């Protein structure tokens, strides 16, 4: 199955490279946060998101606190955009509408799961 994939970022099976990808992402994210002057949120008592892959409830109480106020704005975006018109399927949402939520609920360098 890995021959049908494009590892390490895309695999047609559960991705065995995910821990390596997340380790590299953590280092890049820490550097980006430092460059942007954002506070260091990596203090997690020796636990990391990588260990959560095996045991998702093992460190729920040691995670950094995440807080965002609810997104309180009207989102109205047009559908006449070259990116929107590139592919057609019935459930798509204009990328500019989704972008507002991503910018509100994430920090620079965060991973966004689209699945």
- The answer to whether 42 and 26 are in contact (CB under 8 A) is yes
CA distances for 37 relative to 46, 56, 111, angstroms: 23, 30, 19
Same domain, 74 and 25: no
Q: Are residues 89 and 101 in the same domain?
A: yes
The residue count of the chain comes to 115
Question: What is the token pair recorded at 1?
Answer: 């199955």
Contacts of 106 (CB under 8 A, 6+ apart): 112
Instruction: Tell me, yes or no, whether 97 and 80 share the same domain.
Output: yes
Q: Which of 74, 79, 112, 113 is nearest to 93 (CA)?
A: 79
Number of domains in the chain: 2
pLDDT tens digit string along 8-20?
778 888 888 889 9
Boundaries of domain holding 84: 68-115
Do 92 and 44 lie in a common domain?
Answer: no
Residues 96 and 43 in one domain: no
pTM of the model: 0.53
**Over the stretch 37-73, which tens digit does the pLDDT of each residue have?**
888 777 654 445 544 444 444 455 555 677 889 988 8
């Amino acid at each position: 199955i890995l021959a049908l994939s494009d590892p390490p970022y895309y695999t047609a099976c559960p991705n065995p490279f995910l821990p390596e990808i997340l380790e590299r992402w953590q280092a890049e994210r820490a550097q980006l946060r430092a460059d942007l002057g954002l506070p260091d949120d990596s203090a997690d008592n020796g636990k990391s998101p990588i260990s959560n892959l095996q045991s998702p409830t093992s460190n729920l109480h040691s995670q950094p606190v995440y807080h965002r106020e609810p997104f309180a704005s009207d989102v109205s975006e047009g559908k006449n955009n070259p990116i929107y018109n590139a592919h057609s399927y019935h459930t798509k949402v204009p990328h500019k509408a989704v972008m507002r939520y991503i910018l509100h609920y994430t920090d620079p360098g965060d991973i966004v799961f689209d699945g």
